[in-house]
Structure 1
Amino acid sequence: MDQIEEMKSMIRDEIQSISNLEERIVFKNLMEGVFLELYETNVKMYRMLEERVMNDLAYDINRYLIRTGLMERTYLDKSHHLMSPICEEDLETASYKISDVKEKLKAEGKFCLSTVFLECDALKVGEILKNQEDFTGILRAGKEYPVHIRLERSERYGKEIEHLYHLFMKNGIPWKTINAPYLFKMADICITGLPEEAGDEESVTNFGADFGKYNRFVHYDMIPIWNVRHLKLESVGFPIACSDHENFEHVISIRDYGTEHAYLVEEKAGIRSVRQSGDKLLVTGQVENAKKWDIYMIRSGGDHKIDRYTYPLMENLRKDGFAERFQRKMGQAVKTKGELERFIRGFGLEDFIEYQDCALKENGLEFLETYSMNFFIEDEIRDREGKKQLILYFKPKGKETWLLRDLASFISSEVQEYFPEYECGGKFV
């Protein structure tokens, strides 16, 4: 019960204690007409002041919230209000001939048949992908041909995350690590050898593979998804020359897509600023003529009642309270164990893993069980040699044990951005 309800309960009790009917009526009118009205007005004004202070402290860090997930191809709805495939080509049905396979094998030594999902712990994924032995496969193209196949880490999805990072930088938006555990479990099935008798004009219609003891981890037709959608939008009207005589302001309408979403703009000629004003994007850059723009919409909103996801959706949400905004506004660094614990708990992942403690160790003394989700960001200033390890210790809680080291990797990757002087990583205890 909140304060106003407690106050009303006290007034009702006081009214019941007054035996004189006339005095009871006078007291009741006084409380309702003056005291409660004044109290509610004060509460409302306090909340308005609190909201104003919060808005002045910092922008909403969760406006550019990225969600990621994984779905079976058969359940993926192209018209979904929130989620889209990370790689649009995953929706296409691949079609190729034996001659295409042979040409690729000759040029690169391998041919990618399909991409699969490995439902296992991050350490097991590393073991599978480091295994360079060839497995046995059957390729159907008119006849069935035995082929040598290998599992290799799929790099397509990592490149999309890296592209998104550069978009954030171009648009002047602070980067937050993407919580994308499923992307690091995607693997390409590659042919490494093909019988010469296979006819060049035959079309590949099917294939099968035997990965031995790893078969139970391999899932076909799984598509990684996120809440980012690529749009092609035209400028509205003519660009307006800026006062510096070098840049132009372009107006792009987003009325058909919604003002509640966040938008990023890509332009090779360079962007000075991107502002959203109502149902328009105002882009300032060196482009002189009206054109079609590459716009990336980061969709916001909740799930519908009929939505179905095979695996839990993950997001890089941060609890956005007064203390967090004040710390960012003042540029205060995390210096104590208590501040670090509050930062880690701000991701709201306690249902999966629970942070226990941290420790500084000499480099190489302990084996880290996590990996960097910001693998594309290189520290070109600091020397990695001689760095101490900042080890984060976690306790597993969730049932999805195969996912927990990936979530610890997400947290340690974010902590790494705060402590570039250390090599940050995680372990389970």
Structure 2
Amino acid sequence: MKDIVADRLSRMEDLEQRKQLKQLMNGLFLGMVDYQEKMNAALERRVFEELEDGEDKHDIFVTVCARDDFDPIHDFLYPMLPEDVKLPSIALNRIVESLSRGEETKLYTLFMQCGNPELNELLTGKRTFGGVLETTGGRYAIEARVERSSRYTSQIERLYDVFQKNGVAWKTVNHPYAYKFIDVILTGSDRMPAVAEEVLELSVDLEQYEHYKRTDIIPLWNIEQLELKNSGFPVPAADRINFEHVMSLRKTGSEHGYLVDGDEENIRYIKRSAEELTIVSPQERSGVWNVWKLTQPVLTQQGKLEYPLYSNRRKDGFIGKYARKQTMVVRATGELMRIVHSFEAAQWLELAEAAVDSVPSGGAKGRTYGMNPFISDNIRSEAGKKRLKLTFRPRGGQDQHDYMLCDLMSFLVSEIQMYFPEYRCEGEWA
């Protein structure tokens, strides 16, 4: 509007009239324009602030690294299991005890840098592999099998429980690395080692899968477990039965997300303000609370990572925020497209088609697996569900991520499954 007024004034040939009109416009009209623009900006800001749900503070970022390359003072990445940073030791007495009883025992955990089809082929083959156990008493020929490890997927399930305790909406964790760890299980040996011996070397040959295995790889995420104390004495809550335990977040960072882990009997509900975390509990005395800090990363300062960093973060946008405020899900292909492409993970994949068919679940073309197996549906029967086939195509120029594509597709399909529980969602390649 100001530009239009300036343009009209510049076209007036009578300088005296231009001067008078300019004074009039500056004194009255342009002031009204400034006021209107200010009010419009305030209204726009208010609308967007009402749609802010704080969801971005609970985004999960993940990757893996070699144990020797782990940075203990990294800005936002922490090991999923703190004990992983230490070199694991193998107790020979435990191996001898299991062998003497004819039982199996776990040796170690491996990361398999391969695609989901190759990993499934290895795990469903029910094969045994040969290996060598070298001790101070000699070399022993051993046999072992492999199975999918639950060390890290169980941590994701525990995280889901913490989300539920805090009343925070769950969003599928995009941790493709967690599903590529396997446990090597000792099944037998050609002879019995002595308990007094010490293990020098232990190796198992996975034959054609040998070039996929990576030792000493540990998964990381942006969750740090803290123990926080009350800022002061607990004060009675509004119900005059429970007490409010207030913890200041200034030292740990108020811009991060926080979840309280504890017994449900000891926590009534949790409130979060800009600078404080308040726990309403029947506990009368001050105490120490186990808090999970979801550190928000500064991606421009993350440094070089050997393996890609993945997340379940959504792209920031008005339509996505508005849709998440609505209780009704739109049953349309366009809504499927919006949900899929709202995630940053969709930069590697594109949803090409969605269709309902009657092909049995787990068909030959099915490439995905559920990333939320711990969420049960007690209302609908799996047997009566129709199959929602989601067809994806990889985006060009992403060869370095090829072995992760099936896992990224599984993440997007798992998120769609939460929006459309009446269907059995499966992903396929176009």
With normalisation by structure 1, the TM-score equals 0.89
Alignment of 1:109 onto 2:110: no
CA distance in 2, matches of 1:35, 1:150: 82
Alpha-carbon offset, residue 221 of structure 1? 1.3
Kept in 2: contact 1:97–1:201 (CA 8 A): no
Q: What's the counterpart of residue 147 of structure 1? A: 142
Alpha-carbon offset, residue 198 of structure 1? 1.4
CA distance in 1, matches of 2:101, 2:25: 86
Q: Equivalent residue of 1:371, what SS?
A: coil
Alignment of 1:232 onto 2:232: no
Q: Give matches, 1:300-339, under 5 Å.
A: 300-305=296-301, 307-339=303-335
Mean Cα displacement is larger for which, 31-40 or 371-380? 31-40
- Unpaired runs of 5+ residues, structure 2, are none
Q: What's the counterpart of residue 373 of structure 1? A: 371
Kept in 2: contact 1:334–1:418 (CA 8 A): no
Q: What's the counterpart of residue 48 of structure 1? A: 42
Q: What's the counterpart of residue 96 of structure 1? A: 90
Q: What's the counterpart of residue 207 of structure 1? A: 202
Distance 1:251 1:27, change over 3 A: same
Alpha-carbon offset, residue 23 of structure 1? 9.7
CA distance in 2, matches of 1:117, 1:302: 27
CA distance in 1, matches of 2:274, 2:239: 26
Q: What's the counterpart of residue 414 of structure 1? A: 415
Mean Cα displacement is larger for which, 38-47 or 322-331? 38-47
Alpha-carbon offset, residue 18 of structure 1? 8.8
Alignment of 1:275 onto 2:271: yes
Q: Equivalent residue of 1:189, what SS?
A: strand
CA distance in 2, matches of 1:98, 1:369: 40
Q: What's the counterpart of residue 190 of structure 1? A: 185
Distance 1:300 1:23, change over 3 A: farther
Alpha-carbon offset, residue 255 of structure 1? 2.7
CA distance in 1, matches of 2:169, 2:330: 18
CA distance in 1, matches of 2:34, 2:67: 53
CA distance in 2, matches of 1:407, 1:305: 25
User: Of 154, 159, 177, which residue of structure 1 is paired with 2:154?
Assistant: 159
Superposition RMSD in Å: 2.9
Kept in 1: contact 2:78–2:224 (CA 8 A): yes
User: Of 391, 394, 397, which residue of structure 2 is paired with 1:393?
Assistant: 391
User: Of 252, 255, 264, which residue of structure 2 is paired with 1:260?
Assistant: 255
CA distance in 2, matches of 1:356, 1:153: 31
CA distance in 2, matches of 1:177, 1:208: 35
Q: What's the counterpart of residue 214 of structure 2? A: 219
Q: Equivalent residue of 1:344, what SS?
A: helix
Distance 1:37 1:311, change over 3 A: farther
CA distance in 2, matches of 1:312, 1:19: 65
1:40-66 CA deviation, whole Å, 9 max, x = no partner?
665454333222112223513222111
CA distance in 2, matches of 1:77, 1:310: 13
CA distance in 1, matches of 2:29, 2:198: 83
Q: Equivalent residue of 1:283, what SS?
A: strand
Kept in 2: contact 1:96–1:203 (CA 8 A): no
Amino acid at match of 2:329: A
Mean Cα displacement is larger for which, 302-311 or 370-379? 302-311
Alpha-carbon offset, residue 69 of structure 1? 1.0
Q: Equivalent residue of 1:376, what SS?
A: coil
Distance 1:364 1:106, change over 3 A: farther
Kept in 2: contact 1:102–1:194 (CA 8 A): no
Alpha-carbon offset, residue 275 of structure 1? 1.8
Q: What's the counterpart of residue 87 of structure 1? A: 81
Give the % identical residues.
34
Alpha-carbon offset, residue 32 of structure 1? 9.1
CA distance in 1, matches of 2:26, 2:311: 46
Alpha-carbon offset, residue 36 of structure 1? 7.7
Kept in 1: contact 2:417–2:423 (CA 8 A): yes
Alpha-carbon offset, residue 104 of structure 1? 4.2
Distance 1:74 1:33, change over 3 A: farther
Alpha-carbon offset, residue 415 of structure 1? 0.7
Distance 1:108 1:64, change over 3 A: farther
Kept in 1: contact 2:243–2:284 (CA 8 A): yes
Q: Equivalent residue of 2:96, what SS?
A: helix
Q: What's the counterpart of residue 67 of structure 2? A: 73
CA distance in 2, matches of 1:22, 1:306: 62
1:304-325 CA deviation, whole Å, 9 max, x = no partner?
5461212211111123432223
User: Of 288, 291, 295, which residue of structure 2 is paired with 1:292?
Assistant: 288
Mean Cα displacement is larger for which, 201-210 or 389-398? 201-210
Q: Equivalent residue of 2:268, what SS?
A: strand
CA distance in 1, matches of 2:168, 2:221: 19
Mean Cα displacement is larger for which, 103-112 or 396-405? 103-112
Amino acid at match of 2:66: E
Alpha-carbon offset, residue 250 of structure 1? 0.9
Kept in 2: contact 1:97–1:200 (CA 8 A): no
Q: Equivalent residue of 1:156, what SS?
A: coil
Q: Equivalent residue of 1:71, what SS?
A: strand
Amino acid at match of 1:374: N
Kept in 2: contact 1:97–1:202 (CA 8 A): no
1:377-425 CA deviation, whole Å, 9 max, x = no partner?
1112211112110110001223211111111110111111111111111
Alpha-carbon offset, residue 144 of structure 1? 2.5
Q: What's the counterpart of residue 347 of structure 1? A: 343
Q: What's the counterpart of residue 172 of structure 1? A: 167
1:281-306 CA deviation, whole Å, 9 max, x = no partner?
11002223222111000011313546
1:92-146 CA deviation, whole Å, 9 max, x = no partner?
2222331122234567933323222111111211111122211121122213322
Amino acid at match of 2:384: G
Mean Cα displacement is larger for which, 39-48 or 186-195? 39-48
Q: Give matches, 1:15-26, under 5 Å.
A: none
